[in-house]
Amino acid sequence: MSQSEVVVDLQLAREHGLTEQEYACILEILGRVPTFPELGIFSVMWSEHCSYKSSKKYLRALPTEGEHVLQGPGEGAGAVAIGDGLAVIFKIESHNHPSFIEPKQGAATGVGGILRDIFSMGARPIASLDALRFGPLDDPRHRHLLRGVVDGIGGYGNAVGVATVGGETGFHECYRGNILVNAFNLGVVEADRIWRGKASGVGNPVIYVGSKTGRDGIHGASLLASAEFGEGAEAKRPTVQVGDPFTEKCLIEACLEVMGADVLVGIQDMGAAGLTCSSFEMASRAGTGIEMDLDLVPQRESGMTPYELLLSESQERMLLVAQTGSEAKVKEIFERWELDAAVVGRVTADGLMRIRWHGKTVVEIPVDPVAENAPVLDRPLREPADQRGRQRLELGQVAVEHDPAGALEALLDSPNLGSKAWIYRQYDQLVQGNTVLGPGGDAALVRVKREDGTPTSKALALSVDCNPRWCWLDPYEGAVAAVAESARNVACTGARPLAVTNCLNFGNPEKPETMWQFAEATRGLAAAARALRTPVVSGNVSFYNETAGRPIYPTPTVAAVGLLEPWERFAVSHFPEEGLAILLLGETREELGGSEWLALRRGLEQGPPPRVDLAHEARLHALLAEGVRAGAIVAAHDVSSGGLAVALAACCFTGPRGVRVGCEVTLHQSLRLDALLFGESTGRVVVASREPEALLGLAGERAVPAVRIGTTGGSSLRIAPSRGAPWIDAPLARLESIWSRALPRRLETDEAIGLLPSEVK
């Protein structure tokens, strides 16, 4: 298609996802009808995915500043100081729609993209997490999606040499038409060596590095990520990019090398909307313009049009602005890593993006109106009609659990609470040699080394969390709980939560009910982040997660990052030995609303989710840090889905050191039994201690309710009332076998009919 043949009009603009109003705005900015490539540029830059036009109003209310924050939202990722001249850079991002269409490549490129956001700021990526949501596993399509996504994350992360140290995986009917793949990465950098995406210095060369540009992923941001799925989502497969972790690995090394060579001015990933978004954003931040010749762009295919070159989302590419005269040095470094590096343009003073192709100017747009003046919408809100109804729960009408041991087994066997080892065994959890605590516990713990390999006394605790059912029942409380839980998990290692990043997965924002959920959830995030002093330093919004009009449950995924120093003193999440006192911190209330037990055993998704007492939560986190530091806490495990009984079972199961230790617990029954054993009151942690008296003292000082409930030892999980027969007295071997088979036994149905060889144990 020749550029001159395409006539741009409102109809074509609409096909590009632009509204009539937006098209009028384009005409006004340009003072003329846009060329075809210009229309393409506006459509991606003003897409929901790139412009945050529906969410901006609410994101502004999030607390983004704090004493440690070096960089809040707006750059590739957020940066937080961790002392001794070091900083961490981290972010979580969605790759939902691509992963639903092509799970392996969708997930792989999700990992690749988030890595580039991190190392483009100068940090070496050291740890990844993933938050995944699928439909029910009895649907063969979702077994296929799970396999593909895990294969993609592992295939990319393992080969690129960055450890995947944790994550969260959940299954629910609401994701049947729209899975979620949220990828988190964190890197470490010298705090005074953080790079930003800035095209400053008139005359400086603009250098394209990395993979060649192909026709893949055109309109991924505008058409794939910014519209809901209807029937025929399959046809969108060509808009999914293909990842190449080997090139990414070389790109990481080459970029870190060039950053150390004192030749760089600015650098940015070519992510969503590729060359367009990166060049506009870099020029906009510096208040400059860029002049670029598309014929100089390294190309994988012949005959690519300006439209395609500008909108391609080919992976593993970066845009650099270097100092004049350093072109040869930059090329030398990239050539050593066998990567393309081509000067494609210069920084200019006129504030224009001027792009030439075959000797003609095909794009001439003022930078700022495109990058900065994207439309900001104030979409209508409406509380869903049945919202109040969802929260109604007459506990008196819900039959009390008469088989607590059976309920425990059913919960441990459920895909949501069962072991996720089938997933994380496929990820390299160890590369770079920093993994103190890997997947399978509350939070991962990763030791920090300097770029030259010198170990430090610091470790970072990382956790990613969200309870979508709670968010559906009450988006405000659900979002508060997501922040509280991720921070609590981090605190369970002994670390102090520093900051959070979030990935806000919602349905179609054009529906007032979805926007109401979004507004409520962000209000909750803001309240919790403020109360726990964990600013939101980066994040991503993913709208249009719905298919055929059925939206997902609101899923504001929150990842918390904490600092532990000195790292050698940390708590594990499994009982490490016999004879330890077991204490329960926090208060158990009669809260069964939104619980796994209620959903699994009574088939109800009803009721108010448990309330979070943020003041208590802050005190609890401080107590955990102090208790671990003082040596009074050796193990700590957050009580979450499945309640106290499931938490105790998890503490007993075989830990990373290969040890399995049982426990005997006695509970005073003050509320209905199912609420006591399976209720999900927040702000609770099971801890194991060698010095229970000292710990009770510390808890008293901090006004955190604490009670000794038992002792570790034996090979059973025994939970009994103060008087009478135990409610649960089960051999751990049996419980752990049920729990560890939860995923494999569901995936083996395919293997039994010969689709895959049998699982090796």
Binding site for another protein (CB under 8 A): 154-155, 158-161, 244-247, 249-250, 337-338, 424-436, 447, 449, 453-455, 568, 656, 658, 756-761
Tokens representing 507 are 């349905």
CA distance 632 to 627: 5
Report the residue number, 360 or 425, with the smaller CB distance to another protein. 425
Nearest distance, CB of residue 689 and another protein, angstroms: 20
Residue number, 246 or 737, with CB nearest to another protein = 246
Contact between 2 and 362 (Cβ < 8 Å): no
Instruction: Please answer whether residues 732 and 412 qualify as being in contact, where contact means their C-beta atoms are separated by less than 8 angstroms.
Output: no
In 396-502, which residue ranges form alpha helices assigned H by DSSP?
404-413, 421-424, 468-473, 475-492
Write down the least CB distance from residue 753 to another protein, Å.
Answer: 16
For another protein, the closer of residues 382 and 425 by Cβ is: 425
| Residue placing its CB nearer to another protein in the complex, 127 or 521 | 127
446 and 565 in contact (C-beta within 8 Å)? no
Q: How far is the CB of 250 from another protein (least distance, A)?
A: 5
Rounded distance, CA 683 to CA 638, Å?
8
- Are the C-beta atoms of 78 and 345 separated by less than 8 Å? no
| Beta carbon nearer to another protein, 469 or 741 | 741
Rank residues 331 and 511 by Cβ distance to another protein and give the closer one.
Answer: 331
CB atoms within 10 A of CB 516: 19
Q: Please, which residue, 265 or 572, has the CB nearer to another protein?
A: 572
Q: Are 672 and 726 in contact (CB under 8 A)?
A: no
Q: Are strands 706-712 and 581-585 parallel, antiparallel or unpaired?
A: antiparallel
Strand order in the sheet with 124-134: 69-71, 78-83, 86-94, 180-190, 124-134, 163-171
Exposure string for 62-101, b = 16+ CB within 10 A, e = fewer: bbbebebbbbbbebbbbbbbbeeebbbbbbbbbbbbbbbb
Whichever of 455 and 631 has its CB closer to another protein, that residue is 455
Nearer to another protein, 247 or 534 (CB): 247
Compare residues 134 and 337 and give the one whose CB is closer to another protein. Answer: 337
Residue 582 CB, shortest distance to another protein, in Å, is: 24
Active site residues: 49, 95
* Smallest separation, CB 677 to another protein (Å): 32
How many secondary structure helices (H) and strands (E) does the chain include? 26, 28
Half-sphere exposure of 714 (CA within 13 A, CB side): 15
Distances (CA, A) of 69 to 52, 54, 60, 82, 501: 22, 26, 16, 9, 12
Widest distance between CA atoms in the chain: 89
DSSP string, 61-119: TS----TTEEE-BTBSSEEEEEETTEEEEEEEEE-HHHHHHSHHHHHHHHHHHHHHHHH
Q: What distances in angstroms separate CA 197 from CA 106, 200, 320, 331, 503, one per listed residue?
A: 25, 9, 8, 19, 22
The residue written with tokens 């960055």 in the block is 162
Least distance from another protein to the Cβ atom of residue 318, Å: 17
Buried b (16+ CB within 10 A) or exposed e, 669-694: eeebbbbbbbbbbbbbbbbbbebbee
> How far apart are CB 167 and another protein at their closest, in Å?
14
Six token digits for residue 504: 């806000």
CB closer to another protein, 155 vs 627:
155
Q: How far apart are CA 581 and CA 588, in angstroms?
A: 19
Strands (E), 256-366: 264-269, 289-293, 317-322, 340-348, 352-357, 360-366
Q: In which element (H, E) is residue 725 found? A: none
Q: Pick from 432, 305, 282, 416: which is nearest to 360 by CA?
A: 305
The encoded tokens of residue 253 equal: 């090394």
C-beta of 506: minimal distance to another protein in Å? 33
Residue 336 Cβ, how far from another protein at the closest point, in Å? 8
Closer to another protein by Cβ: residue 226 or 435: 435
In whole angstroms, the minimum distance from the beta carbon of 339 to another protein comes to 10
What is the distance in angstroms between the CA of the first residue and the CA of the last residue of the chain? Answer: 55
Helix (H, G, I), strand (E, B) or coil at 531: helix
* Residue 290 token pair: 């860029």
How big is the CA angle at 444 (ends 441 and 445), to the nearest 5 degrees? 125
Amino acid identity, residue 328? A
**Shortest CB 757 distance to another protein, Å:** 6
Give the CA count within 13 Å in the CB-facing half-sphere of 495: 33
d(CA 698, CA 704): 9
CB of residue 559 to another protein, shortest distance in Å: 21
Cis peptide before 554 (omega within 30 of 0): no
Residue closer to another protein, measured from CB, 259 or 321: 259
